[in-house]
Chain A
Amino acid sequence: MTTRADAGSRLLRLLAVLTWLARQGRAPLSDLSERFGLEADELIADLELAACCGLPPYSPDQLMEIIVDDHEVVADLGAELGRPRRLTAAEGFALAASARAILAVPGADPEGALGRALSKLEAVLGGRGMLRVDLRDPAHLAVIRDASEEGRQLELHYYSASSDRESTRIVDPVSVRLIEGHWYLDGYCHNAQDMRRFRVDRVSSARLTGEPAGHRGGDPDMQHRDGAAPGSEAFVPGPEATIAHLAVDDDAVWIVEALASSSHGRADGRTGVTLAVASTVWFGRLLLRLGPHAEVLDPPELAEAGREAARQLLARYRGDTAS
């Protein structure tokens, strides 16, 4: 025995292997190892054990017929064992949520093959109509997704919230994904000469330049650095972020709840909140939202960001832009 997994999870794994084998009849050992994430010796040990299982009186004709040689497993287990087992709660949820999410992608066909598969699944699992996924549909998503699929270069007008500036960028798209409820384009930005992440709903115009995208693969590492890529708009504090401490009234705690890296109750009844600040523009707007319900405890210079954001906005209200 090389495996250290507990008997319960080993049983479930073995049943999954047997179900698969019952349907296949025979399979290379390497296939089974890979498919079920097992080392060859663990797999062989479990299969040899299973070969001793069966129904009383455990005479050879009542045992499961499993023959393991150096590189292949041959099994005759009967049709019954080949029937799929019920899904666990987590598996049922994962299947239904995945299908619902893909059907919610703008442009998906609800009457298509996936919609029919989901109907059949929900007919068996129950819970029809009890799971819903809403995905946003920003104006330029379709153009950007098509360009990414087809490897075409884009020219984007893009508003960056962290710098509060609009700019025109030439981008070779690499991938378009929904993360934490927002669509993001990852691509090679010719202006920055580096990989950048763009929030699709902050693109005010998108057009094809007519050039192919030169950097289709991009930085493979980018796929695993969600939000930490340079220029990212997702809220993931980088090493350069400043740590801010606030005291917030109950009335406004909901605004900072999702942003806080930690929080604690204070003697004065307010909540002490710690959060990472990567952009003073962003932090100024947060303080504006919190208004009189929050106080910056540290660092004191960050308190100025809120006053600055307020003064800018006040200038607009006091100017002549209102019609």
Chain B
Amino acid sequence: MVDRLERLTDLVLVLLRDQRPKSLREIASEVPGYPAQEGEARRQAFERDKRTLRDGGIEVTAVPIDGPEQVGYVIRPEDYYLPDLDLAPDEQAALNLAVAGVHLGDPSGRDALWRLGLPASAGARPVAELPALPALPALYGALRARATVSFDYRGERRRVDPALLRFHGGWWYLVGFDLDRAAPRTFRVDRMDGDVSAAAPGSAVLPEGFDPDAALPDVPWRIGEGALVTVSVHVDAALAGLVLDEVGSSALASRNDDGSVVVQLEVTNIAALRSWLFELGAHAEILGPDEVRADVVSWIEAVAGVADGPVVAS
């Protein structure tokens, strides 16, 4: 009885080294370990091996051939070997340090270095931890293959032509064109349920001029279709740096002697602005326009339980 590992190893070598597609009969005669009798058992053993190889990223391609069996099998070099990256020594070292410096929660980065023949560097200090989500490799693969993806999201099946995978503000997002809604959409990758499936390579066709940046605004109060309002916010010195870091220094309207600042924010989503503002506690105050300030004050009054305050409309 030939060990299955031996059969698989021989199968890879036979299908790879000689680029002539081989029929199953030829394969069974060259690779020890397949059932001697032609028939269903042999076919099933071979199909099982093909699946095992595919699961490991080794694609066995079926091509039409002359002869009674009509189908031949081959592993194409371009499906098996990595094209030469031609990395200079300093580029190899930089890639090494990057993999050592970023924790993605699994050893894939280190495995990739091995595969490229680069020794992994030990002892480098981690710089960043990014959330590792099971859907990310599949989404990245689909992006590279320009394949339509589908996944469950908030209890619904979504079909999306992917445009960009983006880490922003601590979350991974998929930006793409939602086929059922016929509009650009952004999805939090951690909220996808179960597996992501990808259609055939090339199936995703983004609309002309699709701009993934426009689909994912930098700040939450721009995610919305409301009318654009410019809102002035006064922020205490203690949180001025934090806020400027988040909104960008271009929003700075004035800086006061006590270290506090006034920022001007372009807002299309008042609810999102309010939520962000309240995270700052009593360290920030909306100065205007009056209607936005009044809206926020009535919200606070409702939460404070002020009896004679105006009722929050929502």
Measured between beta carbons, the chain A residues less than 8 angstroms from B163 are 130
Across the A-B interface, the 6 shortest Cβ-Cβ residue pairs? A181-B170, A310-B304, A91-B112, A94-B109, A114-B94, A117-B91
Measured between beta carbons, the chain B residues less than 8 angstroms from A179 are 128-129
Given A94-B112, A114-B98, A314-B304, 17 more A-B residue pairs with CB atoms under 8 Å apart are A7-B5, A8-B52, A12-B57, A55-B17, A85-B81, A92-B144, A94-B109, A102-B102, A131-B165, A133-B166, A134-B167, A159-B239, A166-B238, A180-B129, A285-B278, A292-B302, A323-B234
Give Cα A299 to B83, complex, Å.
Answer: 61
Q: Give 1 or 0 for each of B122-139: 1 = CB within 8 Å of chain A CB.
A: 000111111100001110
Q: By the criterion CB–CB under 8 Å, are B167 and A132 in contact?
A: yes
Q: Give 1 or 0 for each of A191-204: 1 = CB within 8 Å of chain B CB.
A: 00000000001111
Q: By the criterion CB–CB under 8 Å, are A292 and B312 in contact?
A: yes
Q: By the criterion CB–CB under 8 Å, are B278 and A289 in contact?
A: yes
Q: By the criterion CB–CB under 8 Å, are A311 and B93 in contact?
A: no
Q: By the criterion CB–CB under 8 Å, are A180 and B131 in contact?
A: yes
* A316 interface neighbour in B79, B94, B240, B285, Cβ under 8 Å: B285
Q: By the criterion CB–CB under 8 Å, are A132 and B111 in contact?
A: no
Q: By the criterion CB–CB under 8 Å, are B99 and A87 in contact?
A: no
Q: Chain A's interface: helix, strand, loop or mixed, by majority?
A: helix
Minimal beta-carbon separation of A49 from chain B (angstroms) = 5
* B129 interface neighbour in A7, A140, A178, A255, Cβ under 8 Å: A178
Cβ contacts A to B, 26 pairs, < 8 Å: A10-B5, A16-B111, A16-B114, A49-B9, A89-B138, A94-B106, A95-B113, A97-B130, A97-B167, A99-B95, A101-B102, A113-B90, A130-B162, A131-B165, A177-B129, A180-B131, A204-B237, A255-B275, A257-B191, A281-B281, A289-B278, A291-B299, A307-B305, A310-B300, A321-B234, A323-B287
Measured between beta carbons, the chain B residues less than 8 angstroms from A53 are 6, 9-10, 13
Measured between beta carbons, the chain A residues less than 8 angstroms from B165 are 130-132
> What is the interface residue range for chain B against chain A?
35 or more
- Whether a CB of chain B sits under 8 angstroms from the CB of A105 is yes
Q: By the criterion CB–CB under 8 Å, are A92 and B302 in contact?
A: no
CB-based nearest B residue for A184: B129
Question: Quick one: which of A100, A118, A285, A291 has the most chain B CB within 10 A?
Answer: A291
What is A's interface to B at a CB cutoff of 8 Å?
7-12, 14-16, 19-20, 23, 35-36, 46, 49-50, 52-56, 58, 80, 83-102, 105, 112-114, 116-118, 120-121, 124-127, 129-140, 159, 164, 166, 175, 177-182, 201-204, 226, 251, 255, 257, 281, 284-285, 287-289, 291-292, 306-307, 309-317, 321-323
Measured between beta carbons, the chain A residues less than 8 angstroms from B32 are 58
Q: Give 1 or 0 for each of B273-308: 1 = CB within 8 Å of chain A CB.
A: 011001101100101000001001101111111100
Q: By the criterion CB–CB under 8 Å, are B242 and A202 in contact?
A: yes
Measured between beta carbons, the chain A residues less than 8 angstroms from B35 are none
Measured between beta carbons, the chain B residues less than 8 angstroms from A91 are 108-109, 111-112, 115
Measured between beta carbons, the chain B residues less than 8 angstroms from A322 are 234, 285, 287
Q: By the criterion CB–CB under 8 Å, are B140 and A127 in contact?
A: yes
Measured between beta carbons, the chain A residues less than 8 angstroms from B53 are 8, 11
Give Cα A137 to B241, complex, Å.
Answer: 11
If A98-B101, A124-B83, A314-B304 touch, whether A159 touches B242 (CB-CB below 8 Å) is: yes
* B136 interface neighbour in A9, A86, A93, A289, Cβ under 8 Å: A93
Give Cα A287 to B275, complex, Å.
Answer: 10
- Whether a CB of chain A sits under 8 angstroms from the CB of B80 is yes
If A15-B12, A310-B303, A314-B304 touch, whether A88 touches B282 (CB-CB below 8 Å) is: no
Q: By the criterion CB–CB under 8 Å, are A80 and B17 in contact?
A: yes
Q: By the criterion CB–CB under 8 Å, are B56 and A8 in contact?
A: yes
Give Cα A235 to B102, complex, Å.
Answer: 21
Minimal beta-carbon separation of B306 from chain A (angstroms) = 7
Q: By the criterion CB–CB under 8 Å, are B115 and A130 in contact?
A: no
If A50-B9, A117-B94 touch, whether A311 touches B117 (CB-CB below 8 Å) is: no
Give Cα A292 to B165, complex, Å.
Answer: 35
CB-based nearest B residue for A117: B91
Measured between beta carbons, the chain A residues less than 8 angstroms from B112 are 87, 91-92, 94-95
Q: By the criterion CB–CB under 8 Å, are A56 and B143 in contact?
A: no
- Whether a CB of chain A sits under 8 angstroms from the CB of B255 is no
If A91-B112, A310-B303 touch, whether A11 touches B144 (CB-CB below 8 Å) is: no
Q: By the criterion CB–CB under 8 Å, are A46 and B5 in contact?
A: yes
Measured between beta carbons, the chain B residues less than 8 angstroms from A112 are 94
